[in-house]
A and B are shown apart, each in its own frame.
Chain A
Amino acid sequence: MQSNTEAFYQEQLKRVTNEFEDFVYIVSHDLKAPIRAINNLSVWIEEDLGDNIPEDVKDNLRLLRDRTERMEKMMNAILQLSRVGRYDLDIKPVDLGQILDEIKAANTAEHVSIHIHQDAHNQLFNTYFKKFKTVIEELVKNAVIHNDKEAVEITITLHYPENNLAEILVSDNGSGISAQALDKVFDIFYTGKSKDRHNTVGAGLAISKKIIDFIGGSITLESSENSGTKFLIKWPASTN
């Protein structure tokens, strides 16, 4: 009897979760159409007014478009968040170190240096490799955005202390996170500084956290203001 009730509630939970994800998908998708229309109309107004537009009107039109673009980015982030449980679900044996090397190679910003240390060279792990890449990319992006130094230093350490769990430490020399903000950084759309100053909507860490929860890992962080940030990830990955 007990297990029947449990199965019933499990089924309910699954149904409600699916409904919720469908809802988020449809809403964020359909809301994009009016945003696009507002953006287009503002371009047309500017075009139709011709060459004699006062500077302050131009500024306002630019701000209007800037905000519609931000809103679209936010919609895309919600979409991405709602898709964590149903996209990039392929599991295959991969060399996690190689994925880190690829991320390092893709970094073309001259002021950013990525250092990689690993004790699991050429070892193959069965895991959600696409999700792994997304999470590390988001953490690197985060480290670059929240950095006030001229030279951005990011260190990624891949360690494999026990079976079925890889540890990844991502640390940076950035501006750090204040004690009050520590428990907010994984909230969707939370940004440490104004969204005007950094070109971000504050979704990367929320998406990373959702991915890590989904695969049954964990993410913790250590930081204080002006002393950089360290993220420690425990990532389920088996070698057989």
Chain B
Amino acid sequence: MSSPAFLTDLTVTPHNEDAVTLDGVSAGYGEGPVLTDLSLRIHCGKLVGLLGPNGAGKTTVLRIAMGLLVPTAGQVAVLGRRLDSATDRSWVRLRIGYVPQVQAPPALPITVADSVLLGRWGCSFRFLRRPSREDRALVRETLGLVGMGELAARDLAALSGGQRQRAALARALARRPRLLLMDEPTTYLDQEAQRDLVQLIERLHAQLNITTVVVTHGREAGWRFDREIHLTNGGAA
């Protein structure tokens, strides 16, 4: 398990601001809007489920919060900062950890530790600046936190889907995020791996108090969210 010093660094101090605020947001990808006049608030420190059927706009909400998609109408604020410019969107991306769906084994050979190290990109290293010893220590700590410490030197492609998702979670945590966004993290996993991952995420949320938003189709994986937001036809309920 990780050292107390690291946990102190990673744990988010509770505060009152909203983690994500969407106010009258409309957005799409060019073939008609996916979201229309959507308003929602996600409070800091909560474990929130973003539920809904395919095409409801769940992933679109995450892309907007990450600053990867600019809405056609409405206002967005993340961690107290309005996303009005490219600078704002870059600022917020440094403070967000993102866990995608289970990916196919990568064609690129990469160790688990190196894949987690990428989570530090932009935070402490980028072009021409190499990762520091602190970065590597953080990678070891986060891998320990998700129970993957012994697999640090393994090729990512050789892991099971559940283990790759744990590595993705470690990568997101290595960013020392204030907001964790997860896009259907348990999809394509078998039931046991789903249950393990959900329990890990819930335990880490309780331990670190990082606001966590999980996109999911439903409650089949046994999630116990603090709050559920149901998206239907581009609106929230």
A and B found bound together: no
The interface of chain B, by Cβ under 8 A from chain A, is none
